Structure 1
């Protein structure tokens, strides 16, 4: 494990999971980080899934000249290296194959990995949803990576949809989308998001009690 993820901060991840992506986005935008969301095509297999945690990055490449044995060696290396309580984010540089499957999902779940986000595909989606492993992907396909795709780099910076992601950053993914929080501001962003949620509750209480919506907005500065 490299210095980028020396110690997973479970408490921050758990606090982040109690938030929602829209509120986190609003805080990031106000702090001068308006472009931290991944493509709206990356969707959860289970629409009720919410995934948060510290990021472990993986990238790879398509190459149909590869030996099946070699691709599986690199793939199982990824399964072995991903830290417990991390969220794997993969840039496969490929939009044809499934970059997650049932046995791999079951392995990662057993090893305590929180979930998997990929700028690519997934297969065996019914099984993965049934066991409760959280996967966010762009599409599903029966095609797997054997002999055609290799996991090439671990814990190296990646980019998805113009968002730069490094191991140690934080992520919150839910049914609305995926938001990346740079590691150096994660604690501040989470604290500010928690404040936003408290204020939203005050606004909601006022509205439900009959307060005029514009008056409630002017009173609390949030809507």
Structure 2
């Protein structure tokens, strides 16, 4: 197993576990308060199954359309997987306007063995039942059975990529940016803000937990809101 990524003195596995206690709407609010309002990925990218959640630094893959069935390109993509570091989220950009499955069971199985803990695919996936049985979280735009080989190929990896955005046409994802996704959607946290956003989200969640109890017992909602302004 490859070594875990370390950010500062924080082990990335621990950071991921802390992020998994959060939710996308809270991360959006905190990022917006910090001046980063356009980090939400398009609502078209959804989890393959209920309850799936992704949290980890991005390992980016840039692709393009092709009509060649060049085996050397396939081997290059397979070799790329060996460069992954646990615990990363593989992020594949659209790469092609055609409806092909950019990701499937074998991609996930190989990536998981080399450190990936999930995938964000701005396009199609296949082998869905296998992915669900693997309990490997994948977010994608659609599902179909169409083989990508001979229709799509990898250009490069660990370079900046663009994925469809919610408030903007695209959201840039740089290698190492933190990817978080749950049932509400996917957020891209700039790499340098990974810990500041996490710590602020945890602070706000503490406030919410207290306010939630007071709202539920019927306290004056205006007074509760004034006492526990989040941001």
* Larger mean Cα displacement after TM superposition, 106-115 or 83-92: 106-115
Query: Which SS does the other structure have where 1:99 is aligned?
Result: strand
* Larger mean Cα displacement after TM superposition, 203-212 or 25-34: 203-212
* Structure 2 stretches lacking a partner, 5+ long: 165-169
TM-score by length of 1: 0.92
Looking at secondary structure, tell me which structure has more strand per residue: 2
Partner in structure 2 of residue 203 of structure 1? 211
Partner in structure 1 of residue 171 of structure 2? 163
Query: Runs in 1 of length 4+ with deviation above 6 angstroms?
Result: 5-8
Query: Which SS does the other structure have where 2:22 is aligned?
Result: coil
Equivalent pair of 1:71/1:147 in contact (CA under 8 Å): no
Provide the rounded CA distance (Å) in 1 between the counterparts of 2:65 and 2:48: 23
* Structure 1 stretches lacking a partner, 5+ long: none
Provide the rounded CA distance (Å) in 1 between the counterparts of 2:72 and 2:113: 24
Partner in structure 2 of residue 86 of structure 1? 88
**Map of 1:137-156 to 2, 5 A cutoff?**
137-156=140-159
Q: What per-residue deviation string (whole Å, max 9, x for no partner) do you get for residues 115-135 of structure 1?
A: 010111100111111111111
The alignment status of 1:25 with 2:28, answered yes or no, reads yes
User: Number of matched residues?
Assistant: 218
Provide the rounded CA distance (Å) in 1 between the counterparts of 2:37 and 2:188: 11
For the aligned residues, what is the CA RMSD?
1.7
Equivalent pair of 1:78/1:151 in contact (CA under 8 Å): no
Provide the rounded CA distance (Å) in 1 between the counterparts of 2:179 and 2:222: 33
1:68 CA displacement:
4.3
1:197 CA displacement:
0.7
Partner in structure 2 of residue 173 of structure 1? 181
Query: Which SS does the other structure have where 2:179 is aligned?
Result: strand
Provide the rounded CA distance (Å) in 2 between the counterparts of 1:216 and 1:123: 47
Provide the rounded CA distance (Å) in 2 between the counterparts of 1:49 and 1:6: 24
Q: What per-residue deviation string (whole Å, max 9, x for no partner) do you get for residues 4-61 of structure 1?
A: x787722222211111110000000001000001110000101211110111111111
Give 1:47's match in structure 2, choosing from 32, 45, 50: 50
Equivalent pair of 2:73/2:153 in contact (CA under 8 Å): yes
Provide the rounded CA distance (Å) in 1 between the counterparts of 2:186 and 2:153: 25
Assess, with a 3 A threshold, how the Cα gap between structure 1 residues 99 and 88 changes in structure 2: closer, same or farther: same
Provide the rounded CA distance (Å) in 2 between the counterparts of 1:85 and 1:143: 29
Partner in structure 1 of residue 100 of structure 2? 97
Equivalent pair of 1:89/1:118 in contact (CA under 8 Å): yes
Partner in structure 2 of residue 76 of structure 1? 78
1:219 CA displacement:
1.2
